[in-house]
Amino acid sequence: MYITVHAAAGAAIGTLIGSPILAFIGGFISHIILDMIPHGDEGIQNWKLFKTKRQRMAAAGLIDFFGVALLLAFLINRVDITLLPGVLAGMAGGISPDALWGFHEMTGTPLLNKYRSWHTLGHDFITKKKITIKQGFAVQLPFLISFIWFTLR
């Protein structure tokens, strides 16, 4: 799923867990579970605007980065201040699996080969069927809205 959705999931979990370390782990686990739902991100590889896979990944990553920044700016003034440590740690945990994955994609480091196949395997855990980017948006938007709502409830 998009990193913005993963960050929102982490924030929602963070409202339930006071300990930042546990909130981080909770966010990390939520990422792996959410990735099992078909979400259409693979369609980015057919993005005509850019020539190489690396360019497409960098562009999508940048857009997602702004999504996370906007989400953070939106939440930071609205979340109960006592929940903020858990919310921020949960967001970091939700983002980190894709940060690791992206680091491997960009650098090709063999240190993360096993992690990479494990993360990718999760995507096929429920079904190998892939959906389009548009369908992916339709799947991910309700999750995003629900997580934001849950974080602010």
Q: What is the C-alpha to C-alpha distance for residues 34 and 142, in angstroms, rounded to an integer?
A: 13
98 forms part of the interface with Zn ion (CB under 5 A): yes
Angle between helices 84-107 and 3-14 (to 10 degrees): 150
Q: What is the C-alpha to C-alpha distance for residues 132 and 153, in angstroms, rounded to an integer?
A: 32
Q: For the chain, report the end-to-end CA distance as a whole number of angstroms.
A: 23
Name the minimum Å distance from CB 32 to Zn ion: 8
Name the minimum Å distance from CB 153 to Zn ion: 26
Residues within window 20-39 making contact with Zn ion, judged by CB under 5 A: 35
| Binding track, positions 36-75, relative to Zn ion; x by CB under 5 A | ----------------------------------------
Name the minimum Å distance from CB 81 to Zn ion: 30
Sign of CA dihedral 30, 34, 36, 41: negative
Nearer to Zn ion, 60 or 79 (CB): 60
Helix (H), strand (E), coil (C) string for 5-60: HHHHHHHHHHCCCCCHHHHHHHHHHHHHHHHCCCCCHHHHHHCCCCCCHHHHHHHH
Nearer to Zn ion, 64 or 98 (CB): 98
Nearer to Zn ion, 93 or 97 (CB): 97
Size of the site for Zn ion (CB under 5 A): 3
Token pair for 149: 């709502």
Name the minimum Å distance from CB 41 to Zn ion: 8
Nearer to Zn ion, 83 or 140 (CB): 140
Query: Contact residues for Zn ion (CB under 5 A)?
Result: 35, 97-98
